[in-house]
Structure 1
Amino acid sequence: MLLIHPPAAKGCEPPAGIARLAGAIRGHGLPCTLLDANLEGQMFLLASPPQGADTWSLRAGRNLKDNLASLRSPKLYTNPSRYRRAVADVNRVLEQAGRSRNLSLTLANYQEQDLSPLRSADLLRTAENPGANIFFPYFATRLPALIAETRPALIGISLNYLSQAPVTFAMAGFLKKQYPGLPIVLGGGLVTSWLRNPAWRNPFAGLIDHCLAGPGEEALVRLMGADFSTAHQTPSYSGLPLADYLAPGLILPYAASSGCYWNKCLFCPEKAEGNPYLQIPPVTVLADIAALKAAVQPNRPALLHFLDNAVSPALMQALAAEPPGLDWYGFARITPLLADGAFCRSLRRSGCRLLKLGLESGDQSVLEAMNKGQDLALIEKVLQTLAEAGIATYIYLLFGTPSESLGEARRTMDFVVRHHAAITFLNLAVFNMPIGSPEAPFMARSEFYGGDLSLYTDFEHPKGWSRTKIRRFLDQEFKRHPDIARILQRDPPIFTSNHAAFFC
């Protein structure tokens, strides 16, 4: 089987989804080849950039090789201003390549002006004319060579982000034209969200042979004609270019669970899609990490990235008791365990550099309306305790939920200002109503961004707190407060939380 991670996404760590699938497939004694077409495709475009006429583009093109090397070196991350310039210059070269084809292309995103990844008709049109895609010269050469070499029985494409959809369907269209008898399987996070929408009707029949929701290990093994064993399999990164990612050493991504162990927050996509919580036992997680560290040699990992929606308290306790010998970061829920100073100090000694925390709001009434199961007194204590232990925080705030208005948003702002010394990074988001949310039918709704593949629905805010008003508040009040502005200025451009731990 050939498993493909398509463009366009951040190329700073190997793709965990196809590595997990490869572990299961190889664990059943079946052959499997991995292709990170995202990293390869970006490097392909950067290798022959268009000549920019302006001073910035000329400088960026001239320094491209040095900047790419610097992004792979720890030294750059000791100088935030030099880091920002290197990222901006590399991104500039990719942007110029996109502009030459009338599209928006960055190190983290891809958007064609006249194509929406929310409309199946647009994606099918892309599949019909794959040669129009900017990545076509790359995959039209790379895929036939790889297929001739490995002779796969199936091709699986892992589609996780909207930015990957146009290139995914261009690749699928090319493959179907060139190899009509070779089945194409489509899975990944975005496909799972599509399939779990109650209104889903497959528009891709004839192009995509199988669409898979959720974990695809069993389905792929059975499609390859083998019996499936439920025995745990360690992910496999063998065959990926582990030394080439844009990070100061190998970032090793690992998911110790799927779903969310809390799973009670209103409007959460995990809840709306009905994704179950499945956890790998902590003792198995520790064994996996040890095995992966050995398997990826000589590329010694610089950082372990837990992909869980929330690293469980049980796993954090296991990591504190038996450190993995590797710095790590990930999402966590705010719990009393993180208010324990002794525990947080042991967590820091285990290698924990940074925790991402979904605070969402600094107003208690909003937290209660969202059923977050948290109170501000605990949140304040956790922020203080983590700061004292030397663990950085990446705080996520969500504005525009149905229970919030300008008054509650200003209380969130006041909360952040009061605790700015304990907040290392901030992520600001405007609320989107999941189309499958149980609460959506009770809101006055309208089409959101348009398209039969949309995951969200617009709604009339019960307090008149519109998206326009929210953005005005964020731009004119929230971001302009000097204490908040200093936090926002720390955020690594483009790579954001994926690189943040290297600056802690």
Structure 2
Amino acid sequence: MVKFFFIYPPSADPTTPPLAFARIKGAVSSHLGSKGRFEFIDENQKFTRYVVDLGLSGKIREWIRNALETSLPNELRIELERASAWSEHLAEGLLKAMGTLKTEHLFLDISRYRFAYETIEKAFHAFSLAYYPAMVGYATARLALDIRSSAQAREALSSARLNPYLHYFEARVPDYEKADVLGISVVYSSQLLPSLTLAKLVKQRNKGALVIMGGPCASSLRSELEDGFGEFVDLVIPGDAEAFFQYLCDRGIELDEKAKSLDAAQTYAQGPPQQWFKEPDSRLDYSWAAIESYLLPEPIICLDITRGCYYGKCVFCAYGHREGYYRRMRPDQVVSVIKDIEEKIGCSKFFFSVDVVDPGFLEEVSAGLISAGLKIAYCLDARLEKRFAQRDFVEMLFRSGCRAISFGMESASQGTLDAMGKGTDSSYFPVILKNLFDAGIHVQVHLIHGFPEEPASALKKTIHFLHSFKEEITNAGASRFALLKGSIIEKNPKKYGISKMVKVGDLSLDYEYYCDMDTEYPSFETFKKTLFNMFPAVGRLTGSTTDYLIYAARYKPSELKKRIRRILP
């Protein structure tokens, strides 16, 4: 029997089973039937538990003590001394934290929730000091060596000092060394080093294994991974994994037939990108998942009711699979899938894991959920479209279970929005925000700092707007502008005031760039501080997370903001 292992690596959100596995399981099972033994392993969730267990067992505290007796760089010694002060109580704190995150009434006590989140973050911080200045966090990773080139990746792969995942996977690899096929889902760049680490370790023990990578990050670096790491990465599948498995099935090729699969994959990758994608359907299977092991008091399931972006004109964006067209699950399938998951798993909260949802489709889905009498809560990402200015539409969303929406506002300055190609009208923003607030739907807005040639006056206008609507907006987050590979700006940077752009490494998904900015333009740190003062946040209660959905389902926006402000200085 053929042994298939599908892996979701660290570091990403560890609170919910990866959606990719639920999709792949149905596709692969129908392709191979009883011929294969399939194992879907969430190494991201297991790695989180691994770090927590190091803290519970006292090993982190012991390592800190031993490290302080050695010769150390001054900055690291200071960090270790700080960690030493609280590590004595780390195990006790982690026990309380785990209990809080798994118990609803404790989870919803915001003071206890804050303690739990910060305690787990402390465990990750202390763990990371062994790889200083790397910082592996709860759902985040910042490595000591910025992996932006194949040379940097190879250096980290062979260094226990630079690679926080090496010891972990060395202990885990015996479970995989007899695999016939090892599939690794690389969604985010933070997952690249752990993915390559596992692939290399498996190939060292089993050269005959077929190692496949997929996911948006891997797809974006397909040629770089296959050419630069070909000795342990056999192929990278572009687009939706289930589309590739269907491609093999249609041609009568079994995945365990390595030579045929590799030849087919090359033909597939060189073919028209449209074949790499398919409409999401009702074939979702979460039966492999140990739902109770995730650090939430109740299950939350990701559901890709849409894939891709229906707009596709924002000049800065290169999110997800760039070649993919906008595709939607049928509204009746959305309802049937939710019913099925609710019956089998007992899940009533759903994270609509989408690039963006168009309002027309969202209206159809909402009507179906209401008609079916489903009592659920869900959150999603959307554009600030004029449709949200219609009160009846927003009230319908609330009745269907919508409790939180994350909007890519980017700016409140119409001039900046036009330069970005956003296609949104800022004059509608006030009524949209008021409608959502009145309906009881939480709103997060995301903003971009430092868009090329944006004047300081435009950013100040955005800040003034946010202040004017600080009650209607529950949370606001920001990121620095990044010149991304595959974006519209990349094709014509001078049009946007960029005088020079430099690719910093073959594995980098963005460029260093040069452009003139207003000398009075506020720094990113100042902007973030301004946002936090207006929209304080605790832990992962930042609008577009599973943790937040649980709170949004219980508390109205104004009530949650009061509770957060009550516990902060």
The two structures share one fold, judged by TM-score above 0.5: yes
2:384 is paired with a residue whose SS is coil
Is 1:191 aligned to residue 218 of structure 2?
A: yes
| Aligned CA distance change for structure 1 residues 137 and 200 (closer, same or farther; 3 Å) | closer
Structure 2 letter corresponding to 1:46: V
Aligned to 2:88: 58
Shift of 1:451: 1.7
1:489 is paired with a residue whose SS is coil
2:403 is paired with a residue whose SS is strand
Equivalent of residue 78 in structure 1, options 92, 98, 108: 108
The structure with the greater share of residues assigned to helix is 2
1:421 is paired with a residue whose SS is coil
Q: Deviations over 1:85-141 (max 9, x none)?
A: 21111111122122134332211223332x332111222344456797444444334
Gaps of 5+ in 1: none
Shift of 1:200: 8.7
Is 1:107 aligned to residue 110 of structure 2?
A: no
Asked whether the 8 Å contact 2:352–2:380 carries over to 1, the reply is: yes
| Aligned CA distance change for structure 1 residues 283 and 6 (closer, same or farther; 3 Å) | same
- Cα root mean square deviation, aligned: 2.8
| Aligned CA distance change for structure 1 residues 394 and 492 (closer, same or farther; 3 Å) | farther
Aligned to 1:249: 298
Equivalent of residue 377 in structure 1, options 412, 417, 427: 427
Asked whether the 8 Å contact 1:140–1:174 carries over to 2, the reply is: yes
Q: Sequence identity of aligned pairs in percent?
A: 23
Equivalent of residue 180 in structure 1, options 207, 211, 235: 207
Gaps of 5+ in 2: 66-83, 249-253, 265-274, 553-569
Aligned to 1:98: 128
Is 1:452 aligned to residue 506 of structure 2?
A: yes
Aligned to 2:15: 12
Aligned to 1:153: 180
Asked whether the 8 Å contact 2:474–2:543 carries over to 1, the reply is: no
Is 1:88 aligned to residue 143 of structure 2?
A: no
Asked whether the 8 Å contact 2:131–2:161 carries over to 1, the reply is: no
Is 1:38 aligned to residue 44 of structure 2?
A: yes
Could you tell me how far apart the structure 1 residues matched to 2:21 and 2:142 are?
A: 24
Is 1:292 aligned to residue 341 of structure 2?
A: yes
| Aligned CA distance change for structure 1 residues 200 and 243 (closer, same or farther; 3 Å) | closer
Tell which deviates more after alignment, 180-189 or 49-58. 49-58
1:208 is paired with a residue whose SS is coil
Aligned to 2:237: 212
Aligned to 1:283: 332
- Note the 1:253-402 alignment, pairs <5 A: 253-270=302-319, 273-295=322-344, 297=345, 300-323=346-369, 324-402=374-452
| Aligned CA distance change for structure 1 residues 271 and 61 (closer, same or farther; 3 Å) | closer
Number of equivalent positions: 487
Could you tell me how far apart the structure 2 residues matched to 1:496 and 1:390 are?
A: 14
Asked whether the 8 Å contact 1:272–1:434 carries over to 2, the reply is: no
Using CA pairs below 8 Å that are at least 6 residues apart, which structure has the higher relative contact order?
Answer: 1
Asked whether the 8 Å contact 2:379–2:544 carries over to 1, the reply is: no
Shift of 1:371: 1.9
Asked whether the 8 Å contact 2:334–2:365 carries over to 1, the reply is: no
Structure 2 letter corresponding to 1:171: L
Q: Deviations over 1:381-423 (max 9, x none)?
A: 1111000100000111112222512110000011111111110
Q: Looking at CA atoms only, which structure, 1 or 2, has the larger radius of gyration?
A: 2
| Aligned CA distance change for structure 1 residues 25 and 487 (closer, same or farther; 3 Å) | farther
Aligned to 2:53: 47
Aligned to 1:165: 192
Could you tell me how far apart the structure 2 residues matched to 1:9 and 1:308 are?
A: 16
Q: Deviations over 1:338-397 (max 9, x none)?
A: 112122112111111100011110101111122212111212111110001000001111
Could you tell me how far apart the structure 1 residues matched to 2:426 and 2:229 are?
A: 47
| Aligned CA distance change for structure 1 residues 412 and 272 (closer, same or farther; 3 Å) | farther
| Aligned CA distance change for structure 1 residues 293 and 147 (closer, same or farther; 3 Å) | farther
Tell which deviates more after alignment, 281-290 or 391-400. 281-290
Aligned to 2:454: 404
Could you tell me how far apart the structure 2 residues matched to 1:200 and 1:209 are?
A: 9
Could you tell me how far apart the structure 1 residues matched to 2:284 and 2:184 are?
A: 17
Could you tell me how far apart the structure 1 residues matched to 2:321 and 2:203 are?
A: 33
Could you tell me how far apart the structure 1 residues matched to 2:225 and 2:207 are?
A: 26
Tell which deviates more after alignment, 166-175 or 73-82. 73-82
Aligned to 1:224: 255
Aligned to 1:123: 153
Structure 2 letter corresponding to 1:190: C
Asked whether the 8 Å contact 1:400–1:465 carries over to 2, the reply is: no
Shift of 1:322: 2.5
Aligned to 1:22: 25
